Amino acid sequence: MTGGLPSPGSGKNWDRLSEDERLFFCFQDDSLPLSPNHAARIFRLNREDAERVWAWRESLFPRDWPDGKEFFRYERFLRLESTDWNDETGGTRVRNWLFECGIPFERDVFLVYGHDLVVEVTWKILVLYWPAFAWSVGVGMVVLDRTGQWACGFHHENFIVFGSHCTDAS
């Protein structure tokens, strides 16, 4: 079903987002302005493409994952502490945990917030700026790539779940 997914980089990139669209993300002042290379890798999909990704995500695993029961064959969890959001040591702890998931840095991934809001970035951009992308989650943000073999769920209750159907998600 990946043939129906948007082309990599479809939508509006960071430089073309309005001020209001950028405010959804919570980038720290010391991260802004983003480097041109990083900004070029952040795309907010248009509504039609976001809805296609949402429908595809829903065909892969239950809507309530990671809030519901375990779905993937292998799942690992990380409870977020309040210091993980604002402290360099805590942020590094989370970045290391995400790095250990084994996803190649240049892999394009979808950050699925809802049926009409999907952002495409590389795994590296997600790992670097995870607090900015995860801060504004309503119920959760699910990250997946075009293989559909794994997902990473950022839950509003301050935990992250990485699930995979195989031992090597790359």
Look at the alpha carbons of 68, 70, 71, 75 in this order and tell me if their dihedral is positive or negative. Answer: positive
| pLDDT score for 82 | 79
117 in helix, strand or coil?
strand
> How many Cβ atoms sit within 10 Å of the Cβ of residue 72?
19
Contacts of 125 (CB under 8 A, 6+ apart): 38, 41, 42
Q: Is residue 90 classed exposed, middle or buried when 0-12, 13-18 and 19+ CB atoms within 10 A define those classes?
A: middle
| pLDDT score for 37 | 94
| pLDDT score for 89 | 84
Q: Which residues of the chain have pLDDT under 50?
A: 1
pTM score of the predicted model: 0.90
Nearest alpha-carbon partner for 129 in 34, 12, 43: 34
| pLDDT score for 1 | 46
| pLDDT score for 41 | 94
Residue with the two structure tokens 């952040």: 42
| Cis ω before 66 (30° cut-off from 0) | yes
| pLDDT score for 170 | 55
Residues 82, 72: Cα–Cα separation, whole Å:
27
| pLDDT score for 156 | 75
156 — phi, psi (to 5°)? -65, -15
